[in-house]
């Protein structure tokens, strides 16, 4: 790798651009896991799993970073600088840098990464280099085993991957993939809640307790930031939907409101969701009528202009002119919305 002093910092002859800086500031550090097999495919230079990262030339000249590159560094320090002693933060930093450098210089991203780690993060350089080695080995593993992994049952695949993670990252693996472990734990709790007896409201109470046990001190923050996702996961439980389908509308509205309240929604949000539940019921009531009368038309008329004219008239009568156009377009594309499964609280 060659670093020159032409117009600031140039990596293998390529000066970092405004577009490259825009990439890093777009918030690409959302992932809490190491790079996926697809990512490895995109940026891999096929290093051997047991080979150390290439050494940085000790004679590499000191360089003066240009304004753009300095801003990239400041962005990374702002996101991760205070947490670089933590394994998860180290992995997220490296993921960001690996994707970023691969996007501007795919042929030399790895050596560029090592050079910038030494320049930008000297206090954590050794730890980050070790983490790079583990990440590259993990990428190779996921790439080499991708066909075998697809053939495995979910539990077998999970155990196989975790064995490799623990081999490469040791005890830090549980910290790096903490979000995945928590999601698995919550899924297991949901399966247990679904199979137990009880009303949807008692199950919602058990669910919030499971969230608190899974996320501990972070439970309130998780509920605040992921409330809708967590609510949807609960509402789609077969036992919950079965109970909601059996309830008359007034009781169902009360049950849905109670579930949402248990998961922390305030009164204004609960009122809005209640209005939406009622409007959805009205739409599905129209849909039931439409489907019934549509089937009668299909039986009455042969394929042709008369049938289409009758269907068009029905669609406009039930839904109005504007919505009828939407329905006709959907059906022309093969989608029949009122043949979909009704999921109370969601559609």
Residue 310 within any structural domain of the chain: yes
User: 68 to each of 10, 72, 73, 76, how far by Cα in Å?
Assistant: 12, 6, 9, 13
Provide the domain limits for residue 44. Answer: 3-146
Tell me if 82 is assigned to some domain: yes
Write down the residue that tokens 């623990």 correspond to. 166
Q: Do residue 141 and residue 9 come from a single domain?
A: yes
Q: How many domains does the chain have?
A: 3
Please name the helix (run of DSSP H) or strand (run of DSSP E) that holds residue 54, with its range, or none: none
Please compute the mean of the pLDDT values over residues 269-289 and round it to a whole number.
Answer: 95
Q: Quick check: 135 pLDDT over 80? A: yes
The answer to whether position 56 is within a domain reads yes
> pLDDT tens across 98-125, in order?
988 888 889 888 888 988 898 899 999 9
Lowest model confidence (mean pLDDT) among 44-48, 130-134, 218-222, 245-249: 44-48
Say if residue 237's pLDDT is above 60.
yes
Spatial neighbors of 335 by CB under 8 A, at least 6 apart, are: none
Q: Is the domain of 244 the same as that of 308?
A: no
**24 vs 74: CA distance, rounded Å:** 11
Produce one character per residue of 255-280: b if its CB has 16 or more CB atoms within 10 Å, e if not.
bbbbbbebbebeeeeeeebeeebeeb
- Phi and psi at 153, nearest 5°, equal -70, 155
pLDDT given for residue 344 in this prediction: 96
> pLDDT band at residue 167, thresholds of 50, 70 and 90?
very high
- Average of pLDDT values for 206-219? 96
The token pair at 104 is: 């501007």
**Within this chain, do residues 275 and 254 fall inside the same structural domain, yes or no?**
no
Distances (CA, A) of 149 to 130, 152, 264: 26, 5, 39
Q: Rounded to whole angstroms, how far apart are CA atoms 277 and 103?
A: 46
The last residue of a domain, from among 265, 294, 329: 265
- pLDDT above 60: residue 204: yes
The residues near 36 (Cβ < 8 Å, ≥ 6 apart) are 142
Higher pLDDT, 1 or 151: 151
* 260 plus 277 within the same structural domain: no
Q: Is the pTM of this model over 0.75?
A: no
- The rounded distance, in Å, linking the Cα atoms of 32 and 89 is 9
Mean pLDDT of 321-345: 92
Q: Is the pLDDT higher at 287 or at 18?
A: 287
Shared-domain flag, residues 118 and 243? no
* Residue 92 forms part of a structural domain: yes
Residues 6+ apart with CB under 8 A from 161: 142, 149
Residue 102, judged by CB atoms within 10 A of its CB (0-12, 13-18, 19+), counts as: buried
Element (H, E) at 50: none
Using pLDDT thresholds of 50, 70 and 90, give the confidence band for residue 263.
very high
Kindly tell me if the per-residue pLDDT of 52 is higher than 80: no
41/331: higher pLDDT = 331
Q: Give a yes or no: residue 161 inside a domain.
A: no
Residue 154 lies in a domain: no
- Could you give the percent of the chain with pLDDT greater than 90? 68
Mean pLDDT (the chain) is 83
Q: At 296, is the pLDDT very low, low, confident or very high (cuts 50, 70, 90)? A: very high
Pick from 247, 265, 283: which residue ends a domain? Answer: 265
What average pLDDT score do residues 147-166 get?
A: 95
Domain boundary pick from 265, 291, 315: 265
Can you say whether residue 6 is alpha, beta or left, with left for phi > 0 and alpha for psi between -120 and 50 degrees?
beta
131 and 193 assigned to the same domain? no
Query: Dihedrals φ, ψ of 91, to 5°?
Result: -65, -45
Give the DSSP per-residue string, 68-129.
HHHHHHHHHHHHHGGGTTSHHHHHHHHHHHHHHHHHH-TTTHHHHHHHHHHHH-GGGHHHHH
Same-domain pairing of 29 and 73? yes
Average pLDDT of span 159-166:
96
The candidate with the shortest Cα–Cα distance to 120, out of 97, 103, 99, 140, is: 97
Question: Does the structure show a pLDDT above 60 at 62?
Answer: no
């Amino acid at each position: 790798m060659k670093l020159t002093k032409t117009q600031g910092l140039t990596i293998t002859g390529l000066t970092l651009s405004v577009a490259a800086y825009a990439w890093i500031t777009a918030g690409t550090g959302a992932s809490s896991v190491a790079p996926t097999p697809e990512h490895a495919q995109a940026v891999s230079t096929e290093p051997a799993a047991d080979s150390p990262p290439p050494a940085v030339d000790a004679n590499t000249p000191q360089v003066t970073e240009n304004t753009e590159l300095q801003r990239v560094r400041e962005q990374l320090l702002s996101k991760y600088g205070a947490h670089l002693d933590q394994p998860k933060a180290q992995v997220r930093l490296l993921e960001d840098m690996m994707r970023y450098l691969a996007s501007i210089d795919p042929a030399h991203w790895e050596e560029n990464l090592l050079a910038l780690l030494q320049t930008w993060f000297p206090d954590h350089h050794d730890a980050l280099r070790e983490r790079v080695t583990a990440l590259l080995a993990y990428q190779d593993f996921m790439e080499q085993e991708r066909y075998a992994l697809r053939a495995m049952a979910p539990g077998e695949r999970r155990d196989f991957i975790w064995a490799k993670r623990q081999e490469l990252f040791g005890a830090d693996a549980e910290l790096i993939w903490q979000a995945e472990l928590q999601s698995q734990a919550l899924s297991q709790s949901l399966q247990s809640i679904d199979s137990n007896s009880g009303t949807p409201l008692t199950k919602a109470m058990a669910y919030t307790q499971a969230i608190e046990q899974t996320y501990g001190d972070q439970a309130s923050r998780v509920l605040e930031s992921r409330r809708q996702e967590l609510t949807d996961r609960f509402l789609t439980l077969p036992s919950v939907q079965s109970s909601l389908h059996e309830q008359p509308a007034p009781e169902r509205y009360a049950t849905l409101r109670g579930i949402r309240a248990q998961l922390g929604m305030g009164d204004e949000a609960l009122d809005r969701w209640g209005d939406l539940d009622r409007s959805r019921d009205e739409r599905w009531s129209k849909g039931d009528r439409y489907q019934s009368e549509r089937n009668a038309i299909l039986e009455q008329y042969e394929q042709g202009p008369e049938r289409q004219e009758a269907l068009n008239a029905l669609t406009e009568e039930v839904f109005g002119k504007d919505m009828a156009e939407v329905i006709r377009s959907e059906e022309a594309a093969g989608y029949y919305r009122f043949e979909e499964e009704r999921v109370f609280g969601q559609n």
